[in-house]
Amino acid sequence: MTEQQTETTAIQADRKAVRVPTDGAEAAPQARSLGLRGAVNARDLGGYRTADGRVLKHGVALRSDGLNRLTEEDLGLLAAIGLRQVVDLRSLDEVREAGPDRVPGLPVAAIAAAELSSEPITVAPASGDGMTLHHLPVFAADFDIYVALRDALADRSPEKQRALLGDGKAAAMMVGLYRWFVTDAVARERFAAVLRLLAAPDGPPLIFHCSAGKDRTGWTAAVLLTALGVDRETVFADYLLTNERSAAIVEHVVDSFGTRGLMQEPELLLPVFRAERRYLEAAFEEVAAGWATFEDFWQDGLGLDDEVLAGLRANLLADAR
């Protein structure tokens, strides 16, 4: 079972349709939701405040779970907010399992051709005012969680499932993934590419996503918010908000695994399905272990410079009212 299957199995469980605020005030957690019926974890990073007293603009930097199940209403909403770019961080296997994104204005065939690739590919619109799709797959070939879980569930052996996930192994797998986000050069390059897109003059509004909108998306958002000067506790709060948005889906899926006989102990998957503070802490620990400061990680680890940071500030921040 993948991150994507977690949300798609019970996508109807959460039909909240809270719209994005238009003023500069800090948004309440539920108000951050984009109200997408086919992507319940889609939300706005707008409203967070920085150490220098500025505030993230609403409707410019958006994070989400997979966009492959968007409804026609969802597509209209994304078009209405003027979305310019979509970044998909899912692996080729995830796209094969769940399907390509639905992006307003882009041909289905072109989207599928780009996303059914293990290498980065960009699909540009036919007109200058359309949306651009960037497929930037981030996956660990040597310990792919998607493949490990798929194989364990396909076998349906309680013993093998417990051997893989039990006694803290599932959580350890996730901690290892978050450390890999920082230590792997290719992964760092893909995350940096998202930040460059957000910093470009014609970048935002931009939405970036993976399958559940939790891990790769969560780390991208954490790096972005940290670079802009948002305090660490707020960064963690944004990360953990996934648990509120996806709670109904996770509960449904875990219950269904048991009733359908796929797992004798479906609760073994909870560490994979949930956002845990220790996972994000592990990524920041790797940053601290490898670089003296976050600024050094920004420059040497991600290969980003002051120009990119200035672009992010210009595009995403506004003076507080």
Q: In this predicted model, what pLDDT tens digit does every residue of 91-116 receive, in sequence order? A: 998 999 899 999 988 999 999 999 99
Q: In this model, does residue 80 exceed pLDDT 60?
A: yes
pLDDT at 238: 97
Q: Tell me how far apart the alpha carbons of residues 275 and 281 are, in angstroms, rounded to a whole number.
A: 11
Q: In this model, does residue 175 exceed pLDDT 80?
A: yes
Q: Tell me how far apart the alpha carbons of residues 273 and 269 are, in angstroms, rounded to a whole number.
A: 6
Q: In this model, does residue 84 exceed pLDDT 60?
A: yes
pLDDT at 266: 83
pLDDT at 58: 95
More confident residue, 18 or 138: 138
More confident residue, 255 or 191: 191
Tell me: the pLDDT tens digits for 21-43? 333 344 444 558 999 999 999 99
Cβ proximity of 22 and 1 under 8 Å: no
Beta strand 121-123 pairing with 61-64 = unpaired
Distances (CA, A) of 113 to 64, 107, 118, 127: 22, 10, 11, 19
Burial class (CB in 10 A: 0-12, 13-18, 19+), 266: buried
Q: In this model, does residue 181 exceed pLDDT 60?
A: yes
Q: In this model, does residue 143 exceed pLDDT 70?
A: no
Q: In this model, does residue 57 exceed pLDDT 80?
A: yes
pLDDT at 110: 95
Q: Which of 78-82, 227-231, 235-239 has the lowest mean pLDDT?
A: 78-82
Q: Tell me how far apart the alpha carbons of residues 302 and 321 are, in angstroms, rounded to a whole number.
A: 33
pLDDT at 19: 34
pLDDT at 16: 32
Cis peptide before 205 (omega within 30 of 0): yes
Cβ proximity of 79 and 103 under 8 Å: no
Q: Tell me how far apart the alpha carbons of residues 134 and 157 are, in angstroms, rounded to a whole number.
A: 38
Average pLDDT, the chain: 87
Cα angle for residues 198, 244, 224 (degrees, 5° grid): 20
Q: In this model, does residue 8 exceed pLDDT 50?
A: no
